[in-house]
Amino acid sequence: MRLKLYELVGANDRRFSPYCWRVRMALAHKKLPADFIPCKFTDKHVIAFSGQTKVPVLVDGDDAISDSWAIACHLEDKYPDRPLLFGPGHGRPLTKFFNSWADSEINPVLLRMVVRDICDCVDPVDRDYFRQTREARLGRTLEEVQAERPVYMERLQQLLAPVRTLLENHPYLCGETPAYADYILFGTFQWVRCVSPLEILKTSDPLYAWRERLLDAFGAMARQHSFTG
Amino acid sequence: MRLKLYELVGANDRRFSPYCWRVRMALAHKKLPADFIPCKFTDKHVIAFSGQTKVPVLVDGDDAISDSWAIACHLEDKYPDRPLLFGPGHGRPLTKFFNSWADSEINPVLLRMVVRDICDCVDPVDRDYFRQTREARLGRTLEEVQAERPVYMERLQQLLAPVRTLLENHPYLCGETPAYADYILFGTFQWVRCVSPLEILKTSDPLYAWRERLLDAFGAMARQHSFTG
């Protein structure tokens, strides 16, 4: 039975969730076709069957798995004969560290840089929900947070320094070919790319060329999704 | 010919460099015996033969390698039949990321927490050098920096959150057995343990039990080195 991925959708059918992009890239890496089912922030009833309140949710036969990391582990374990997401040996725990690091350090900084822009991109019925939940979490208005973008931009560039060292000798974070750690960070960059005209990378940054390579991957699947797209 | 490691030494023959501890653990992991040659901060002439000004420097036959990451790569490549430090596949780039992350995020925070304590532990002839170079780098007196320890402690605990997730299901960061990523962070903790009475981990922290396991590793090699030792 064909896989189903419930994923976040904004206005104009825009797919921008960083966590859903991780899974989209992982499915393509594993060469697993799937149906993508759009789900707004307030469409909690659509995924209620899974016992979850957040996308992504993957349905694979009788299994309904939520959380992008759990989904990646499910795909790796259930389809071990397909291209590996983590590689052998220490690959999985080290990728898990990268995943937790991106979630706790990178994504919160980038959220603050584009949170007002995101509000314009969510489906109109989600706007009040998005503003209320995010302003409660951030303790300020979306406008106040995003106004500090230059401070976050500086912090972001510092945080990305250890990632850049990986691209000194190889085209991907995982070496000669991309794997799940690449998709983790790519999902974050793709999120920003889909919700804001903000360019977070200079063209001279090795991460810029790396992101270009991943935009071209899998038949340029991700490139067609963008802020202007 | 037996390997030689030039490593930092403080007063009372104390070995406290986090980078030298990474290499000590890597040598033990590879079951490679070595002679350890003490070198004070101001003993630049001792390692001048290598073209370097900083320890650790490993001498392996005709090769003199400096920088703990370069040394680990040398050991992995030259002794591939010994237990692996990085594992196969993506292990090396992902460990490199962990190494760069520890260097750029963790070590600077911990340095500030114990920098005044370190000054008491370096060899008396190194004290002026240590104070001058560190105060120039930090822009304040050692005492002023260390006085902000509570702020750095809070930041440290946040930074360690992604590491703790690795210990939820396995005893080591790299899984069922330790490998180089474990030694990277262990070296940092061992550094603090050797220069200060400060305890950075609560006994209930999974990282505390993890550190205990590594203190017991290789015949409890690291345990005999401590602030009170």
Burial class, B42, CB count within 10 angstroms (exposed 0-12 / middle 13-18 / buried 19+): middle
Tell me which residue of B228, B225, B189 sits closest to B210, measured CA to CA.
B189
In a shared domain, residues A212 and A117: yes
Chain B residue whose CA is closest to A174: B90
CA distance A219 to chain B (A): 24
ipTM confidence score: 0.93
Is there a contact between A181 and A222 (Cβ–Cβ < 8 Å)? no
Q: What pLDDT, on the 0 to 100 scale, is given for residue B87? A: 86
**Which residues on chain A place their C-beta less than 8 Å from a C-beta of chain B?**
84, 86-98, 100-101, 103-105, 158, 161-163, 165-166, 170, 173-175, 179, 181
Q: What is the CATH number of the domain that holds A31?
A: 3.40.30.10
Contact B93 A173 (CB under 8 A): yes
- Choosing from A19, A53, A78, the residue where a domain stops is A78
Q: Find, in chain A, the residue whose alpha carbon is nearest to that of B170.
A: A93
Tell me whether residue A226 is in a domain: no
**Are B166 and B69 found together in one domain?**
no
Between chains, do B91 and A94 touch, taking CB under 8 Å as contact? yes
CA dihedral A47, A51, A52, A56 (to 10 degrees): -60
- Cα–Cα nearest to B69, from B41, B46, B99: B99
- Give the residue numbers spanning the domain of A64: 3-78
Could you tell me if A51 and A141 lie in one domain? no
Helices A149-166, B91-101: axis angle to 10 degrees equals 140
Shortest distance between the Cα of A175 and any Cα of chain B, in A, equals 7
| pLDDT computed for residue A167 by the predictor | 95
Same domain, B17 and B125: no
Residues B21 and B108 in one domain: no
Choosing from A19, A50, A78, the residue where a domain stops is A78
Same domain as B213, residue B132: yes
The contacts of residue B122 (CB under 8 Å, 6+ apart) are B10, B11, B40, B41, B130
> What CATH code is carried by the domain that includes residue B188?
1.20.1050.10
Residues B23 and B102 in one domain: no
Residue B132 CA to residue B137 CA, distance in Å, equals 9
pLDDT, position A90 = 87
State whether A97 and A168 are in the same domain: yes
The pLDDT score that the predictor gives to residue A223 is: 95
Instruction: Check if the beta carbon of residue B198 is closer than 8 Å to that of residue B32.
Output: no
Residue B128 in domain? yes
User: In this complex, do A101 and B162 lie within 8 Å of one another by their Cβ atoms?
Assistant: yes
Q: At what angle do helices A206-220 and A18-29 cross, to 10 degrees?
A: 60
Of A93, A98, A166, the CB nearest to B175: A93
Residue B228's pLDDT is: 81
Q: Is B84 within the bounds of a domain?
A: no
pLDDT of residue A1: 79
A181 and A132 housed in the same domain: yes
pLDDT in tens, A15-73: 999 999 999 999 999 999 999 999 999 999 999 999 989 999 999 999 999 999 999 99
Report residue B153 as tokens.
């402690």
Residue A147 lies in a domain: yes
Q: How many residues appear in chain A?
A: 229
Q: How far is it, in rounded angstroms, from Cα A163 to Cα A160? A: 5
- A70 in the same domain as A129: no
Terminal-to-terminal C-alpha distance of chain A: 31
pLDDT in tens, chain B (229 residues): 899 999 999 999 999 999 999 999 999 999 999 999 999 999 999 999 999 899 999 999 999 999 999 999 999 999 999 999 998 888 999 999 999 999 999 999 999 999 999 999 999 999 999 999 999 999 999 999 999 999 999 999 999 999 999 999 899 999 999 999 999 999 999 999 999 999 999 999 999 999 999 999 999 999 998 888 6
A229: in domain: no
Residue A17 DSSP SS3: coil
Nearest to A93 among B88, B96, B170 (CB): B170
Question: Could you tell me if residue B187 is inside a domain?
Answer: yes
Buried b (16+ CB within 10 A) or exposed e, B177-186: ebbbbbbbbb
Strand order in the sheet with A57-60: A34-39, A3-8, A57-60, A63-66
C-alpha to C-alpha distance for A119 and A177, rounded to whole angstroms:
35
In a domain, A65, yes or no: yes
Whether the predicted pLDDT of A12 surpasses 90: yes
| Backbone Cα Rg of chain A | 17
pLDDT at A229 over 80: no
Q: What distance lies between CA A194 and its chain's CA centroid? A: 11
- Statement: the pTM of the whole predicted model exceeds 0.90: yes
Q: Are strands B34-39 and B3-8 parallel, antiparallel or unpaired?
A: parallel
Look at residues B41, B57, B78 and tell me which one is the last residue of a structural domain: B78
- Structural domain contains residue B108: yes
Closest CA to A188 of A111, A93, A95: A111
The answer to whether residues B56 and B11 belong to one domain is: yes
Instruction: Work out how many CB contacts closer than 8 A connect A with B.
Output: 101
Structural domains in chain A (count): 2
Which residues in A lie closer than 8 A to residue B101 (C-beta atoms)? 101, 162
Verify whether the Cβ–Cβ distance B161 to A86 is below 8 Å: no
Q: Is the same domain home to B210 and B130?
A: yes
Identify the three-state secondary structure at position A171. Answer: coil
For A122-144, what is each residue's pLDDT tens digit? 999 999 999 999 999 999 999 99
